[in-house]
Amino acid sequence: MTSASADEVLAVLEREPFRANAAHMRWQRRSGARALLAWLSGFDGVSWQERWEASPAAACPQRWRREAEAWVNTAAAVRAANIQSGLLMLAAADVIRLSLPWQMDWHSGNLGALVEECRDPDGVARLKEIAGPEGWVSAGGGLADITVGDALEYDAELRRTARGVSSGGTLYYARLRELGHLPADAPTTLRFLEKVTGQLTCTQLVDRHPVASPGIRALLIDYLEERRPRLDYSTVDNLARYLTRNFWADIERHHPGLETLHLPAEIVTAWKERLRTRVQRRRRPDGSIEETVVQRADRVMIFIAVRAFYLDIARWASEEPARWGPWAAPCPIKVAETADRKRVARTKARMDQRTRERLPVLETFARAAADHHRQAAAHLDIARATEPGGRFTLDGAP
């Protein structure tokens, strides 16, 4: 479809399953698709997909929402609603494929339903029998075309757009396995995939929390590489998180465009104030997320990491001026701000309080744990004594 002519594409959209029942809906879809194809024909490429990727629309769904009407109306005068409808039809017919990041940031309420109706209705019907009538993001093709790599890409985008909130698990992957299209040696679950990645490189540690400035990003990677031989991995991991997510990424989010470590006093003061608290997210029994603003316990540790970052660069600048000299700047963290006694005292107080709260039920907890162990051991003995493929009974239940 992506290599078909504009007339061939429009002809396909006039046939089932793309043809709408209502006349006004058919006109809206047809006029929007025709205008969009006319606009895309002005970009380089031998297919509609290549032309779409060469256009400014492919780079940012937010710009598409804001500027699509102005872009497309250069080729044909048509309403904004028709343009959006035309894009949906071209995506549903596989004339163009919207990338996963594009779909995640676009938040269309109609694309999923349209793809389910037009792309693979039989496969979606089977999926709904397994999982219920839930929405799915389309990557192109039918459900039988989905690979493990597609699931991994979807999972990564799901976590990227969750902004720190649990993405809701990877149950969708188990449902795809139940359809029977994935190979026999496909992983049984994606649940713990992100937790067993092994040690990351310094570049990967920094890029977990993207830094917009290329110069600062390269400096952070270089700094971690310099310190890594003398630190264990856990310390390097924490250091990277403090310097990227908690320090520079936060600075850039509120003051974009900075290219130097020499920070004005008002920017430093505002950052320190934001660092006093953090948002704690907890999942309620009904599945919703509860957000609470709490005091940040590791604030002093972040100050220590940032102060060491500045002082290390200043010291290394005298030894390697060409490498570190351009980045030397006054340290924004005072010695007094790195005093850790209060934090240690508060931590010990919390630990002592938890011990006092739990001590009265310690005997009950130990008895329950022992009962649970005896029951599990008995179940294990029964299972071991059963031949493979045989049936056995646990606590009266087969």
**Residue 247 included in any domain:** yes
Categorize the per-residue pLDDT at 308 as very low, low, confident or very high, splitting at 50, 70 and 90.
Answer: very high
Residue 189 lies in a domain: no
At 216 the pLDDT is: 96
> How far is the C-alpha of 373 from the C-alpha of 67, rounded, in Å?
64
The mean pLDDT of 55-60, rounded to a whole number, is 87
367 and 325 share one domain: no
Listed range (29-43, 106-120, 331-345) with the worst mean pLDDT: 106-120
What is the arithmetic mean of pLDDT over 382-388? 87
Closest CA to 145 of 170, 114, 120, 175: 120
Kind and range of the H or E element at 293? strand 289-295
At 207-248, the pLDDT tens digits run 988 899 999 999 999 999 999 999 999 999 999 999 999 999
Q: Is residue 156 part of a domain?
A: no
Q: What is the pLDDT of residue 195?
A: 57
- pLDDT given at position 130: 66
Residues 275 and 236 in one domain: yes
Domain end (from 106, 127, 145) = 145
Is the bond preceding residue 17 a cis peptide, omega within 30 degrees? yes
Burial of 377 (0-12, 13-18, 19+ CB in 10 A): exposed
Q: How confident is the model at residue 89 (pLDDT cuts 50, 70, 90)?
A: confident
> What's the confidence (pLDDT) of residue 312?
96
Q: What is the pLDDT of residue 132?
A: 55
pLDDT grade for 166, boundaries at 50, 70 and 90: very low
Give the pLDDT mean for 339-363. 84
138-142, 233-237, 288-292: which has the minimum mean pLDDT?
138-142
Q: Which of 76-80, 322-326, 328-332 has the lowest mean pLDDT?
A: 76-80
Tell me the average pLDDT across 55-64.
Answer: 85
Mean pLDDT, to the nearest integer, of 135-144? Answer: 57
- Is pLDDT of 32 > 80? yes
Q: What is the mean pLDDT of the chain?
A: 83
Is residue 12 in some structural domain? Answer: yes
Q: Is 215 inside any structural domain?
A: yes
140 in the same domain as 10: yes
Residue 61's pLDDT band, with cuts at 50, 70 and 90, is confident
Structure tokens at 28: 């809206």
Mean pLDDT value across residues 288-316:
91
Q: Which of 145, 164, 181 is at the close of a domain?
A: 145
**pLDDT (tens digit, 9 = 90+) per residue, 167-178?**
456 667 777 777
pLDDT of residue 367: 92
Whether 10 and 134 share a structural domain? yes
Q: Are residues 35 and 109 in the same domain?
A: yes
Q: pLDDT digits over 180-210, tens only?
A: 777 777 777 776 555 555 788 999 999 988 8
- Report residue 218 CA to chain centroid gap: 23
What's the average model confidence in pLDDT over 15-35? Answer: 82
Asked, for residue 312, whether it belongs to a domain, the answer is: yes
The answer to whether residues 292 and 389 belong to one domain is: no
In a shared domain, residues 119 and 244: no
What is the residue-wise DSSP string for 192-249?
Answer: TGGG---PPPHHHHHHTS--S-HHHHHHHHHHHHHHGGGS-HHHHHHHHHIIIIIIIH
Claim to verify: residue 107 and residue 228 sit in the same structural domain: no
The residue segments making up the domain with residue 223 are 202-339
Q: Count structural domains, the chain.
A: 3
**Highest averaged pLDDT of the listed ranges 108-112, 345-349, 366-370:** 366-370
218 and 101: one domain?
no
| Same structural domain, 40 and 80 | yes
Last residue of a domain, one of 311, 339, 367: 339
Residues 15 and 96 in one domain: yes
Q: Is the pLDDT of residue 135 over 60?
A: no
pTM for the model stands at: 0.47
CA dihedral (78, 80, 81, 84) positive or negative: positive
Average pLDDT (17-24) is: 78
Residues 42 and 101 in one domain: yes
- pLDDT confidence bin for 163, thresholds 50/70/90: very low
What value does the mean pLDDT take over residues 4-17? 87
Phi, psi (rounded to 5 degrees) for 264: -60, 155
Does residue 154 belong to any structural domain of this protein?
Answer: no
Does residue 170 belong to any structural domain of this protein? Answer: no
The amino acid at 202: C
DSSP one-letter string for 31-61 = HHHHHHHHHHTTSS-SSHHHHHHHSGGGG-H
